[in-house]
Amino acid sequence: MAGERLTYPVASHDAAHFRAPRLLLSTSCFLCYAYVRLEHWGEALNESKLILVCNCVHRNVIPAAVKQHVLDSLKAAGRPVTVVADLCGMAASKDPILTTLTADRNPIVLACHPRAVKWLLHAVGIDPLPASLRLLNLRTEPAETILAQLGIPPSPLTPHPSTINHQPSTIPSPWIPWFPVIDYDRCVQCRQCVSFCPFGVYTVQEERIIVTAPQNCKDNCPACARMCPQQAIIFPKAGEVPIDGSEVSADPLHAARPGNTTRDQAPDGGDIHAVLAKRKLKLKARS
């Protein structure tokens, strides 16, 4: 009939037949999209959101050229970085920035010897350390090695000016954050350091030796670390192995090696151990 719209019924199985290829195509596209997104998300999960770099402004034990090369490359790669003035000082003041290491997915700390950094963070209360935390050694490793571990190429590249966040020092002047931290993996709680130190740096709490007065420590004096029978005392700013936090040698003849940033002698040229012992006797006599 003229003007009539002709319609043809389609059986249900025929309709399914026509929908199936479209559904199959849609499913394939979705799976491909999901795979690409998951791959991207996997890369994002593996990439750290927090890279903490110690500037070590109070002692400069980290080579300036290595530190600058790494920072330039991080900046050029567009990686967000937080540069802190001094990790030791932050640990002494229990700076809340350090607690963000436990919240980040894959945090990275670029500072000095990992053993020293581990126990600095322990002193802040980060115990145990996050399993995903990476401690990279700017003090001894070349810049190329550090950058390879970070998975970024060395500079120069197109810089990203907004990726470096410099945190000012919160340490009150004129104190220099020179103080001991304890390697509890080695400490046997013999308490010799408590008895030896005349400045009240150490105390015993619940049968454990604790550094409770870091600001009482005498600058550049690692005497308590030298007398520790287990080499469990670390001064991260020291220039002496393994007092500086480097790994302890199995060879007792090479377990300690003086560097050029600590003073073995008292100002009058005598043995600083003897001087400290005399001071301790004087303090006892006054009390």
Burial class (CB in 10 A: 0-12, 13-18, 19+), 218: middle
Which contiguous run of DSSP H or E holds residue 68?
helix 64-76
Scanning the structure block, which residue is given the tokens 């043995």? 271
Hey, what CATH class is 181-286 in?
Answer: alpha beta
Ordered by start, the domain boundaries in the chain are: 51-167, 181-286
Specify which residues 51 forms β-bridges with: 108
pLDDT value of position 104? 79
For residues 237 and 87, the answer to whether their CB atoms sit within 8 Å is no
Q: What is the pLDDT of residue 29?
A: 54
Dihedral (CA of 257, 259, 262, 265) sign: positive
Q: Determine the Cα–Cα distance for residues 31 and 191; give it in Å rounded to an integer.
A: 63
pLDDT tops 80 at residue 163: no
pLDDT tens sequence across 76-119: 888 889 999 999 999 998 888 888 888 878 899 999 999 999 99
pTM over 0.85: no
| Nearest-5° Cα angle at 195, 176 to 253 | 80
What is the pLDDT at residue 164? 62
More confident residue, 165 or 217: 217
Beta strand 108-111 pairing with 134-137: parallel
190-226: pLDDT as tens digits: 999 999 998 999 999 998 999 999 999 999 999 999 9
Helices (H), 107-204: 114-124, 143-150, 192-196
Using DSSP bridges, classify how beta strands 164-167 and 208-211 pair: parallel, antiparallel or unpaired: unpaired
- Judged by average pLDDT, the poorest of 56-60, 197-201, 230-234, 266-270 is 266-270
